[in-house]
Amino acid sequence: MAVYTPGQVVEETGFSLDTLRYYERIGLLEPVGRNAAGQRRFSEEDVSWLGMIRCLRDTGMPIAEMLRFAQLVRQGEHTIEDRIALLEEHDRKVEEQIADLRQKQGAIQRKIQYYKDVRTMRDMLPEQAS
C-alpha cells in the first residue's frame, strides 16, 4: 500500500497544505496517519477521497453538503440511498450551471460574430480621403 507525503498529495490533488489541514480539522478528511517522526502520511484511500472532494468542490458543492456526504459514507452501507439522493441533487445543480454557462457562452459567441461582421464591413468600405 502506497503512502504519500503532504507534498505529493498537494501535487496529486491540487489542494494546498492549508486546505488539507483545514479539511482534516473540520472532518471532511479522516485524521491522517503519521509516521514515527510525527509527519503526516496519506494513504491511497485518502488521495482517492480527496479526488472526490476536488470533484465536488470544483462543481460548486458547499462544504456543508460535502461534510454531509462524508458523514453518510462513514456511517456505512445503509446510507447508500441518502448518498444517491445527495449526489443526484448536486448533479441537477451542475446541469443547471452548465445550461446557464451555455446560454452565456452563446451571448459571447454572438458578440464575437457581431464584431467580426463589423470588421468585415469596415474592411469592405473604401478608404476615406483625408
Q: Is 124 a member of any domain?
A: no
In sequence order, the β-bridge partners of residue 41 are 33
Q: Is 106 a member of any domain?
A: no
Q: Is 117 a member of any domain?
A: no
Q: pTM, whole model, 2 decimals?
A: 0.82
Q: What is the pLDDT along the chain (130 residues), one digit of tens a residue?
A: 789 999 999 999 999 999 999 999 999 999 999 998 989 999 999 999 999 999 999 999 999 999 999 999 999 999 999 999 999 999 999 999 999 999 999 999 999 999 999 999 998 887 765 5
d(CA 44, CA 26): 20
What totals of helices (H) and strands (E) does the chain contain, helices first? 5, 3
CATH of the domain at 59: 1.10.1660.10
For the sheet with 40-43, list strands across it.
3-4, 40-43, 33-34
What domain range is 42 assigned to?
A: 3-96
Q: Is 64 a member of any domain?
A: yes
Burial 36-66 (b: 16+ CB within 10 A, else e): eeeebbbeeebbebbeebeebbeeebeeebb
d(CA 16, CA 10): 6
Q: Is 107 a member of any domain?
A: no
Q: Is 46 a member of any domain?
A: yes
Q: Is 118 a member of any domain?
A: no
Q: Is 109 a member of any domain?
A: no
- Looking at the 3D structure of the chain, how many domains does it have? 1
Q: Please compute Rg for the chain using Cα positions.
A: 24
